[in-house]
Structure 1
Amino acid sequence: MENFLLEKIINKKLLSHECNDVIPNGLQIEGEKTIKKIVTGVTACQDLLDQALSYNANAIIVHHGYFWKKESRYIHNMKRKRLKTILSNNINLYSWHLPLDIHPKIGNNAQIAKKLNICIKGYILPYLFWGILEKNINAFDFAKKIEKKYKKKPIHIYENAPLSISRVAWCSGKGQNFIEQAYNFGVDAFLTGEISEETMHFAKELGIHFFSIGHHATEKDGIKSLGIWLNKKYNLDVTFIDIYNPA
């Protein structure tokens, strides 16, 4: 497949034109014209680039790419090495950020719902989903379910919160600042990737269950699903590489 055609079909699938993002979505760095082998991953870190080379990939698709709005404009040190690796090996680098968070089928938040058996009911914000569990569940049993599904123990803040939960809000990645919106909407629990110092106090004083699963953990299933879709629909050679990140 031609590199700009790949960008076009993914933009169409993810409705990228509808997102006002802090990063350019699509083909960020142009490489070889014909796509032969694709590697996907969460972040375009040096480890992912190096492993992509070992797979002889000439295209990399990530959730966290480059050229963020507040990113330094200087190409020094780490950034220089990354760009040199990509350009000297004629690799295409693609990135989809918010479009891959909010897509209703293959997006990160949709995958969280699928993994934890949450029935999506709607959106509090475009990237803040809410839904209901199949049945009321003890919050500590829900924490165990998260641990089983994500293979890591979540940070669980629960002081002053009711024991049983049924209505849940969630946001993949760095969503901890939406805890008040989730509470005001009227949910029993809020889960996201990251936690900040003040999050504990918010959860405790509001009386809401808060679960932090990890930024990386909540954002790897969307990019995996995108790769599966590309393989099934267009018969493209796609390999997901999970670079370990406990954060």
Structure 2
Amino acid sequence: MQLGELQSYLDQLFEAPRLRDYCPNGLQVEGRPEVGKVLCGVTASQALLDRAVAGGYDAIFVHHGYFWRGEDGRITGFRKRRLATLLKHDISLFAYHLPLDVHPELGNNAQLGRLMGWVAEGRFADQELGWIGRVSVPSEPAVQVARSLAARLGRDPLLFGDADRPVRRIAWCTGGAQGYFEQAILAGADLYVSGEVSEQTVHLARESGIPYIAAGHHATERYGARAVAHHLRGSLGLSADFIDIDNPV
């Protein structure tokens, strides 16, 4: 299909202009005008770009792209190498940050909830980025939720606070959303799950009585891009693959 057609489709699918974000969402680097093969991944790292070149892909779709607010805007070093790779091989780069987090079906939160068997019943926090609902096993202790995350994500999470607290209402927001912990508590959560943890997060978990799980930024955000690859194959008939570039955080 034409690059412009894919761009319009993805912008409408993810409602890109709806959210305030820290980077431009949508087509970040323009490549060849025809797209038949798309590589999906979490981050537009050099490793992912190299896989795209080796595999003959026309476009890349990621959650973490380029041109973040406040970063150094000079095209030097690793930024030059990344952009040179895309431009030399005429590969387009699509990036959807918050729009991929919040999408009701393909998004990172939706996909993590589906993976874990959590049933979403509401939203909270800024721009309704956080999700809240029911766990798959009512009243199971927080430590068992942590064990289930470890089994499904293939990574041991960090659990802070009351590990034995029964969990009826669970709140979650993938990636670096530890700043929404207090809002999750106010929303009525018995446990909050995100990807990262900050120093103050530990104290809030201990003092509030609501446990917190840091399950990994990359680990919690692998599933949106994978779902997009499946969607592009099924809905648009494109050749689309997901490649997970390992990241331990």
Runs of 4+ in 1 over 6 A off after TM superposition: none
1:158 and 1:209 in contact (8 A); partners too? yes
For 1:103, the equivalent position in structure 2 comes to: 103
1:162 positional shift: 5.3
Q: By how many angstroms is 1:9 displaced?
A: 0.6
The counterpart of 1:151, out of the listed 148, 154, 164, is 154
Distance 2:154 2:132 in 1: 23
Rounded to whole Å, the distance in 1 between the matches of 2:164 and 2:247 is 32
For structure 1, the 5+ residue unaligned runs are none
**Does 1:230 find its partner at 2:246?**
no
- Work out the CA distance in 2 between the residues paired with 1:138 and 1:203: 15
Point out where structure 2 has 5 or more consecutive residues left out of the alignment.
Answer: none
Counterpart of 1:238, as a letter, is A
Give the AA of the match of 2:156. Answer: K
Q: Is the 8 A contact 2:161 2:202 kept in 1?
A: no
Secondary structure, counterpart of 2:248 in structure 1: coil
Whether the aligned pair in 2 keeps the contact of 1:7 and 1:26 (CA below 8 Å) is yes
Q: Give the letter for the 1:171 counterpart.
A: C
Count of residue correspondences: 246
State the percentage of identical aligned residues: 37
Displacement of 1:36 = 2.2
Kindly indicate whether the alpha-carbon contact (under 8 Å) linking 1:162 and 1:207 is maintained by their aligned counterparts in 2: no
Q: Which residue of 2 aligns with 1:140?
A: 143
Maintained 8 Å contact 1:172/1:218: yes
CA distance in 2, matches of 1:158, 1:69: 33
**Conserved 8 A contact 2:141-2:164:** no
Q: Distance in 1 between matches of 2:52 and 2:82?
A: 12
Q: How far apart, CA to CA, are the structure 1 residues paired with 2:81 and 2:135?
A: 46
Shift of 1:187: 1.0
Shift of 1:88: 0.8
Describe the shift of the 1:17–1:67 C-alpha distance in structure 2 as closer, same or farther (beyond 3 A): same
Q: Counterpart of 1:191 in 2: which secondary structure?
A: strand
Deviation at 1:163, TM superposition (A): 2.3
Q: Deviations over 1:69-118 (max 9, x none)?
A: 11211111010110111101111011011110001111000111111111
> Match for residue 166 of structure 1?
168
Asked if 1:185 corresponds to 2:187, the answer is: yes
* Rounded Cα–Cα distance in structure 2 between residues aligned with 1:224 and 1:70: 29
- 1:4–1:27 CA contact under 8 A, matched in 2: no
TM-score, length of structure 1 as denominator length: 0.97
Amino acid across the alignment from 2:131: F
Q: Tell me, in whole angstroms, the C-alpha distance in 1 between the residues paired with 2:241 and 2:115.
A: 21
Q: Match of 1:111, SS?
A: helix
